[in-house]
């Protein structure tokens, strides 16, 4: 009986992802964490046991995996058994989601292009674009910030301090 | 306003390009070299690097930045080295027998012995068996007798797994027919406090610690062919009836694919440093034996040791035949 | 090396020379600057600036190096408070309450109390160092692998109090942190774990990437989503703490010095651990623990003081045995060796005037940092008023270069981004972030000590209970866990972290 109820919840949950309240969110998160735990347990079976030791290199991963599975299921069941829904989760609205996504894409682009364009150029590009995106009217300030920071990062980090940041196509 | 902004943009870009052009790379090396140490601070690799830092800087004309990458008895550091950009600006200290033993014993140590491109082998330190000065074991004989009565209970600390210290303990076990428990530490630097506090019965460590901690520790035996000058009253294992000659060779290596010109420059620099009389004096005083093996000589040594160790390890039962 | 008043006075005389004072000042300044960037901590800072020190005579050089070290420690807490970027793991507890204070417009008092607490703790620690160094050195070696394990285990039990009412979530957060720390090679045998055969994962996930991601990046994401104009709108009117604030922290400062100093004596006990312990202690002893996490000023004073006390205590093994117990100490020792000083226990016995000059300069360094930084508090505090469309990308910039500078591999920066997203989700779903950080900091030492302890005990876990010190810590740990579970079981409610997690 319990199994069918749980299964139905899972199926219903997947078909209409309506994670608005704390309680529902915790149920999904609980199962997800348990899944991660299972993943850890499976991956740890490939760990080699070579060498002389009293503490197998597999022990900790097994403990961690087990903890994740137990707590994950515990969380899911505990939340499922609650009567109150708990507070609602403050998911971002459409504008918020778009802003976050674009911001993340900018950062990802920054990292991806760093090795190619080099630190100064990538920094300039990122700062100019990201700053402009957050405040469209101030594009000149965005450009200046990008330029100054790019130049500073070149001189300070690469020339003066000699750190091994990629200098990029422009300065190699 | 816009035109001004555009103009200043162009001006600044040109300025940057001009500056970049003016600062052209002369030859290797032109910027700081990172020297990775694979063991805890305070250990032999660390101490030697400290001796070498200044002279290297003088000879190469660039700063040497010493970094620590501790873990897995050195495996972590070497595994990372083989994936580092092979431009000659990152080198790491390496140790025999560790680099030969670890891939053998661990299966996948994260690197292969011959992946590490040898630059130089600059020192060797034989294994040294130490106990505290206030310990009841005055000679190796006392120690072995006690170990015979209590198999597994006598703990011997040392630096790293599948290292010279580790192997040395196994060799002693076999030669004396005893069962010592080897406890690996991240480096000699963290093994020393363990002995100072009495948490392990003895240390199978290196000759350097015999000179440094002469007041606090008693050396029972040294694993070299003949007695070391600076540790004149420490009998060798051989003298006391156990044919054990083992220790660590230390050198520096670079990632695979590092250009030979860079290797040559580095090797020459290390050679000059090790032949510097100041450096030699410090090394001798501290219980090191200096070696002078360039890239070819050290590669030959590594290959020779690889073969030797495979036999030893099979013989000791550490790896399957 | 015993206490010697005459040597100390001589040391002061040397340290107070105009030249040395100047170099101490330069060191403090550079150190602060270096500490502000995440990833470039005191170790890298000293390593990079070591060449600068070689043009100086030995005493001046080490005075400058010690100053850089302290300065870097201070710089790390500045960014933690003002923009929620902990410079290193030891600044994480500071970020928890400090940033909340900054959001409430109280960045000034937070920064100031951080400086004051550091000063008090540092000075008290240096006094303890001068008077009791030989005895303290004996204490330092009393801890062996079983004691370390028990201590770390107790540290993990802190998760209980850090999770508030959301115990299950706290444990999950901790377990995830442990899982991330496991990736890479086993510390004792070197076996590859959770690496899926890739070479990049073999080196593991650096915890700086994790904490910068969890704190800085997720914070930027939240701010961007809510389209805030600035971190704090409130005008920075008074940037000094009130006397009430300082009085509130009085006992805190004493306690955190004690915790930080004694734990700092243990080789291998990094400031990252002691700051958490100090923070937790304050929370437990406070009459209103729910204030912690929402901008409690003791929550800033405690970790900062502990940090400073720990770094001072780290000099004890160095002076007594010539044994550097942390990379930063080793770098300094290396600097010394360039002047022909022999490493080992005889190092300082043979050069007492040198040691006392260094100790004297530590007193001076503490004063100097206080003087240098208090006036600057106003300047740093104003950062929170900078419009976010400028500040946000700049924070990301600092985070990216800081993380990249760990190993100069883009992988670490990707990890930072990933944990940024994870941190964001964790906050939305009510998972506490602190346990994850704590776990990733403790994991390696925990496992290494357990492995070594079991070898010593020939496989028997009883060793943790038969040795007195370790037994005490284990008892504390189990008590803490038991109490936490009991508190949870009694109340049936959704797993909500009552205090705002970060």
Q: For the purposes of burial, counting CB atoms within 10 Å of the CB of A14, is it exposed (0-12), middle (13-18) or buried (19 or more)?
A: exposed
Residue A117 sits at the chain C interface (C-beta within 8 Å): no
Please, which pLDDT band fits residue B267 given cuts at 50, 70 and 90?
A: very high
Determine the Cα angle at B117 with ends B112 and B123, to 5°. 100
Q: Which of B249, B289, B296 has the alpha carbon at shortest distance from B101?
A: B249
Examine residue B268 and say whether the peptide bond preceding it is cis (omega within 30 degrees of 0).
Answer: no
Interface contact flag, B102 C47, Cβ < 8 Å: no
Q: How many residues does chain C have?
A: 502
Q: Where are the domains of chain C?
A: 5-490
Q: Which of C241, C222, C242 has the alpha carbon at shortest distance from C231?
A: C222
Q: Residue C322 has what pLDDT?
A: 67
Q: What is the DSSP letter of B72?
A: G
Interface contact flag, B107 A147, Cβ < 8 Å: no
Please, which pLDDT band fits residue C51 given cuts at 50, 70 and 90?
A: low
How does pLDDT run across C438-469, given as a tens digit for each residue? 888 888 888 888 999 999 988 888 888 998 98
Interface contact flag, A92 C225, Cβ < 8 Å: yes
In our burial notation (b when 16+ CB lie closer than 10 A, e otherwise), range C128-157 reads bbbeebeebbeebbbbbbbbbbbbbbbbbb
**Non-local CB neighbours of C217 within 8 Å, separated by 6+ positions:** A107, C396, C399, C416, C417, C419, C420, C421, C423, C424
Interface contact flag, C323 B83, Cβ < 8 Å: no
Interface contact flag, B12 A164, Cβ < 8 Å: no
Higher per-residue confidence, C358 vs C21: C21
Strand runs labelled E in C157-258: 184-185, 192-193
Average pLDDT over residues C66-72: 78
Please, which pLDDT band fits residue C496 given cuts at 50, 70 and 90?
A: low
Q: Residue B147 has what pLDDT?
A: 92
- Residue C493: other Cβ atoms inside 10 A: 13
Q: In chain C, whose CA is at the least distance from the CA of B54? A: C338
Task: State the nearest Cα–Cα gap between B61 and chain C, in angstroms.
Answer: 11
Q: Which of B197, A66, B100, A126 has the alpha carbon at shortest distance from C470?
A: B197
Chain C residues touching residue B62 (CB < 8 angstroms): none
B90-96 and B247-254 beta bridge pairing: antiparallel
Residue C105: φ, ψ to 5°: 85, 10
Q: What is the DSSP letter of A87?
A: P
Interface contact flag, A164 B34, Cβ < 8 Å: yes
Hey, what are B318's tokens? 């550490």
* Helix, strand, coil percentages in chain C from 3-state DSSP, rounded to 5: 75, 0, 25
Task: Name the H helices within A90-118.
Answer: 94-117
Q: Residue A73 has what pLDDT?
A: 92
- Fold equal for B32-124+248-316 and B126-247: yes
**Non-local CB neighbours of C426 within 8 Å, separated by 6+ positions:** C173, C214, C218, C432, C433, C436, C501
- Please check the confidence at residue B20 and state whether its pLDDT lies above 50: no
Rounded Cα–Cα distance for residues C167 and A70 (Å) = 13
- Please check the confidence at residue C418 and state whether its pLDDT lies above 90: yes
Q: Which of A40, A95, A162 faces C179 most closely, judged by CB atoms?
A: A40
Task: State the nearest Cα–Cα gap between A31 and chain C, in angstroms.
Answer: 12
Rounded Cα–Cα distance for residues C66 and C68 (Å) = 5
Rounded Cα–Cα distance for residues C158 and C92 (Å) = 15
Q: For the purposes of burial, counting CB atoms within 10 Å of the CB of B138, is it exposed (0-12), middle (13-18) or buried (19 or more)?
A: exposed
Q: From chain A, which residues contact B within 8 Å (Cβ)?
A: 48, 50-52, 120, 140, 143-144, 147, 151, 154, 159, 162-164, 170-171
The answer to whether B211 and B130 have CB atoms below 8 angstroms apart is no
Q: Which of A61, B173, B39, A47 has the alpha carbon at shortest distance from C189?
A: A47
How does pLDDT run across C435-445, given as a tens digit for each residue? 888 888 888 88
Q: Which of B53, B73, B196 faces C190 most closely, judged by CB atoms?
A: B73
Half-sphere exposure of C356 (CA within 13 A, CB side): 20
Among A14-28, A91-105, B13-27, C328-342, the range of highest mean pLDDT: A91-105
Q: Where are the domains of chain B?
A: 32-124+248-316, 126-247
Q: What is the DSSP letter of C84?
A: S
Q: Residue C188 has what pLDDT?
A: 80
Task: State the nearest Cα–Cα gap between B303 and chain C, in angstroms.
Answer: 22
Q: Which of B5, B17, B108 faces A48 most closely, judged by CB atoms?
A: B108
Rounded Cα–Cα distance for residues C294 and C292 (Å) = 5
Strand runs labelled E in chain B: 33-37, 64-68, 90-96, 117-132, 155-159, 181-185, 202-206, 217-222, 247-254, 289-293
Q: Which neighbouring-strand residues pair with A21?
A: A88
The answer to whether C71 and C29 have CB atoms below 8 angstroms apart is yes
Interface contact flag, B192 C192, Cβ < 8 Å: no
Gap between the terminal Cα atoms of chain C: 45
The answer to whether B263 and B254 have CB atoms below 8 angstroms apart is yes
Please, which pLDDT band fits residue C347 given cuts at 50, 70 and 90?
A: low
Q: Residue C23 has what pLDDT?
A: 81
Q: Residue C342 has what pLDDT?
A: 60
Q: Residue B266 has what pLDDT?
A: 92
Average pLDDT over residues B285-311: 89
Rounded Cα–Cα distance for residues C72 and C119 (Å) = 14
Q: What is the DSSP letter of B139?
A: S
Query: What string of H, E and C letters represents the secondary structure of C343-380?
Result: CCCHHHHCCHHHHHHHHHHHHHHHHHHHHHHHHHHHHH
Higher per-residue confidence, B120 vs C230: B120
Please, which pLDDT band fits residue C177 given cuts at 50, 70 and 90?
A: very high
Interface contact flag, A127 C394, Cβ < 8 Å: yes
Interface contact flag, A51 B20, Cβ < 8 Å: no
Complex-level ipTM: 0.84
Hey, what are B193's tokens? 């406090």
Task: State the nearest Cα–Cα gap between B76 and chain C, in angstroms.
Answer: 6
Chain A residues touching residue C413 (CB < 8 angstroms): 111, 114
Task: State the nearest Cα–Cα gap between B51 and chain C, in angstroms.
Answer: 7
How does pLDDT run across B91-147, given as a tens digit for each residue? 999 998 888 888 887 777 778 889 999 999 999 899 999 999 889 999 999 999 999
Chain C residues touching residue B106 (CB < 8 angstroms): 189-191
**Can you list the pairs that A91-98 forms with residues at least 24 positions away whose Cβ atoms lie under 8 Å?**
A91/A19, A91/A20, A91/C428, A92/C225, A92/C226, A95/C227, A96/C225, A96/C226, A96/C227, A97/C225
Higher per-residue confidence, C58 vs B248: B248
- Please check the confidence at residue C318 and state whether its pLDDT lies above 70: yes
Q: Which of B57, B197, B282 faces C141 most closely, judged by CB atoms?
A: B197
Q: In chain C, whose CA is at the least distance from the CA of A144? A: C390
Specify whether domain B32-124+248-316 bears CATH 3.10.129.10: no
Q: Which chains touch B (3 or more CB pairs under 8 A)?
A: A, C
Task: State the nearest Cα–Cα gap between C312 and chain B, in angstroms.
Answer: 18
Interface contact flag, B67 C202, Cβ < 8 Å: no
The answer to whether C314 and C262 have CB atoms below 8 angstroms apart is no
Q: Which of B41, B186, B215 faces C330 most closely, judged by CB atoms?
A: B41
Task: State the nearest Cα–Cα gap between A7 and chain C, in angstroms.
Answer: 22
Rounded Cα–Cα distance for residues C293 and B49 (Å) = 44
Q: Which of B5, B20, B107 faces A48 most closely, judged by CB atoms?
A: B107
Interface contact flag, B106 A50, Cβ < 8 Å: yes
Place of tokens 């009510």: C430
C184-185 and C192-193 beta bridge pairing: antiparallel
Q: Where are the domains of chain A?
A: 1-91, 93-172
Q: Which of A47, B185, A67 has the alpha carbon at shortest distance from C187?
A: B185
Indicate the fold that domain B126-247 takes in CATH.
D-Maltodextrin-Binding Protein; domain 2 (3.40.190)
**Non-local CB neighbours of C269 within 8 Å, separated by 6+ positions:** C148, C151, C263, C310
Q: Which neighbouring-strand residues pair with C185?
A: C192
Please, which pLDDT band fits residue C427 given cuts at 50, 70 and 90?
A: confident
Please, which pLDDT band fits residue B67 given cuts at 50, 70 and 90?
A: confident
How does pLDDT run across C212-227, given as a tens digit for each residue? 888 888 888 888 887 7
- Please check the confidence at residue C138 and state whether its pLDDT lies above 70: yes
Determine the Cα angle at C259 with ends C255 and C263, to 5°. 170
Interface contact flag, C188 B184, Cβ < 8 Å: yes
Chain B residues touching residue C146 (CB < 8 angstroms): 199
- Tens-digit pLDDT string for chain A (172 aa): 556 556 555 555 444 455 677 788 888 889 999 999 999 999 888 887 777 778 888 888 999 999 999 999 988 888 888 777 777 777 877 888 888 898 899 999 999 888 888 888 888 888 888 888 888 887 888 888 888 888 888 877 776 666 667 777 666 5
Gap between the terminal Cα atoms of chain A: 68
Q: Residue C421 has what pLDDT?
A: 94
């Amino acid at each position: 009986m319990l199994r069918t109820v749980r299964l139905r919840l899972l199926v219903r949950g997947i078909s209409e992802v309506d994670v608005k309240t704390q309680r529902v969110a915790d149920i999904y998160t609980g199962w997800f964490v348990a899944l991660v735990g299972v993943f850890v347990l499976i991956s740890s079976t490939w760990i080699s046991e070579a060498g002389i030791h009293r503490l197998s290199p597999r022990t900790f991963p097994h403990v961690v995996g087990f903890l994740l599975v137990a707590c994950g299921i515990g969380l899911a069941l505990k939340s499922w058994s609650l009567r109150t829904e708990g507070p609602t989760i403050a998911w971002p609205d459409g504008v918020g989601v778009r802003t976050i996504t674009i911001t993340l894409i900018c950062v990802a682009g920054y990292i991806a292009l760093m090795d190619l364009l080099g630190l100064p150029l990538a920094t300039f590009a990122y700062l100019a674009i990201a700053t402009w995106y957050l405040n469209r009217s101030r594009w000149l300030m965005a450009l200046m910030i990008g330029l100054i920071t790019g130049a500073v990062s070149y001189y300070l980090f690469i020339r003066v301090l000699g750190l091994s940041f990629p200098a990029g196509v422009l300065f190699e | 306003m816009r035109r001004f902004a555009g103009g200043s943009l162009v001006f600044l870009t040109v300025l940057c390009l001009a500056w970049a052009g003016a600062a052209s790379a002369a030859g290797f090396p032109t910027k700081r070299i990172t020297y990775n140490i694979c063991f805890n601070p305070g250990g032999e690799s660390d101490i030697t690097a400290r001796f070498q830092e200044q002279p290297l800087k003088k000879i190469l004309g660039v700063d040497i930045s010493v970094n620590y990458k501790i873990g897995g008895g050195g495996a972590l550091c070497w595994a990372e080295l083989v994936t580092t950009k092979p431009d000659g600006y990152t080198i790491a200290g390496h140790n025999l027998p560790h680099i030969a033993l670890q891939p053998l014993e661990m299966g996948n140590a994260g690197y292969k012995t011959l992946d590490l491109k040898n630059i130089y082998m600059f020192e060797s330190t034989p294994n040294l068996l130490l106990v505290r000065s206030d310990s009841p074991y005055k000679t190796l004989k006392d120690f072995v007798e006690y170990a015979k009565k209590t198999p597994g209970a006598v703990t011997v600390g040392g630096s790293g797994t599948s290292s010279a210290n580790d192997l040395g303990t196994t060799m002693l076990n076999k030669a004396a027919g005893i069962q010592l428990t080897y406890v690996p530490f991240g480096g000699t630097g963290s093994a020393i406090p363990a002995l100072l506090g009495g948490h392990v019965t003895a240390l199978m460590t290196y000759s350097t610690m015999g000179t440094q901690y002469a007041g606090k520790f008693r050396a029972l035996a040294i694993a070299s062919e003949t007695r070391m000058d600076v540790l004149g009253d420490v009998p060798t294992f051989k003298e006391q009836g156990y044919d054990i000659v083992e220790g660590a060779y230390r050198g520096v290596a670079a990632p695979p694919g590092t250009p030979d010109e860079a290797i040559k420059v580095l090797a020459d620099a290390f050679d000059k440093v090790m032949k510097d009389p100041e450096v030699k004096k410090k090394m001798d005083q501290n219980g090191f034996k200096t070696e002078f093996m360039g890239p070819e000589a050290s590669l030959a040594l590594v290959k020779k040791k690889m073969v030797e160790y495979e036999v030893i390890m099979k013989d000791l039962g550490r790896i399957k035949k | 090396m015993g206490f010697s008043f005459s040597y100390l006075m001589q040391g002061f005389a040397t340290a107070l020379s105009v030249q040395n004072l100047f170099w101490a000042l330069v060191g403090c300044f550079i150190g602060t600057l270096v500490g502000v960037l995440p990833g470039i901590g005191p170790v890298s800072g000293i390593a990079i600036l070591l060449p600068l020190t070689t043009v100086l005579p030995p005493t001046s050089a080490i005075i400058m190096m010690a100053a850089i070290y302290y300065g870097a420690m201070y710089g790390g807490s500045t960014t933690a408070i003002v923009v929620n970027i902990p410079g290193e793991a030891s600044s994480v507890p500071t970020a928890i309450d400090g940033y909340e204070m900054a959001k409430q417009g109280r960045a000034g008092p937070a920064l100031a109390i951080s400086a004051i607490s550091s000063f008090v703790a540092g000075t008290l620690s240096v006094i303890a160092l001068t008077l009791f160094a030989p005895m303290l050195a004996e204490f330092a070696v009393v801890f062996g692998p079983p004691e370390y394990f028990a201590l770390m285990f107790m540290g993990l039990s802190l998760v209980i109090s850090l999770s508030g009412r959301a115990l299950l979530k706290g444990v999950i957060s901790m377990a995830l942190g442990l899982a991330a720390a496991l990736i890479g090679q086993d510390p004792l045998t070197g076996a590859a774990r959770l690496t899926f055969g890739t070479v990049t994962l073999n080196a593991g996930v650096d915890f700086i990437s994790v904490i910068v991601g969890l704190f800085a990046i997720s914070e930027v994401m939240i701010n961007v989503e809510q389209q805030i104009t600035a971190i704090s709108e409130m005008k920075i009117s008074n940037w000094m703490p009130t006397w009430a604030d300082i009085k509130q922290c009085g006992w805190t400062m004493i306690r955190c010095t004690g915790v930080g100093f004694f734990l700092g004596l243990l080789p291998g006990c990094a400031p990252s651990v002691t700051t958490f312990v100090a923070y937790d202690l304050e929370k437990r002893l406070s009459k209103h623990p729910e204030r912690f996490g929402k901008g409690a000023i003791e929550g800033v004073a405690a970790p900062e003081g502990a940090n400073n006390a720990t770094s001072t205590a780290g000099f004890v093994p160095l002076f007594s045995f010539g044994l550097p117990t942390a990379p930063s100490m080793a770098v300094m020792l290396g600097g010394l060796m360039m002047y022909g000083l022999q490493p080992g226990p005889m190092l300082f016995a043979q050069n007492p005037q040198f040691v006392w000059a260094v100790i004297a300069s530590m007193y001076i360094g503490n004063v100097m940092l206080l003087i240098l930084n208090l006036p600057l508090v106003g300047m740093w505090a104003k950062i929170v008023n900078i419009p976010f469309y400028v500040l946000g990308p700049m924070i990301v910039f600092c985070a990216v270069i800081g993380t990249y500078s760990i190993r100069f591999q883009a992988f670490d920066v990707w990890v930072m981004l990933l944990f940024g997203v994870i941190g964001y989700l964790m906050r939305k779903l009510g998972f506490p972030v602190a346990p994850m950080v704590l776990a990733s900091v403790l994991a390696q030492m925990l496992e290494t000590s357990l492995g070594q302890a079991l070898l010593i005990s020939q496989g028997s876990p009883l060793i943790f209970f038969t040795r007195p010190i370790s037994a005490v810590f284990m008892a504390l740990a189990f008590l803490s866990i038991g109490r936490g579970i009991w508190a949870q079981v009694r109340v049936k409610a959704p797993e909500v972290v009552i205090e705002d997690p970060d």
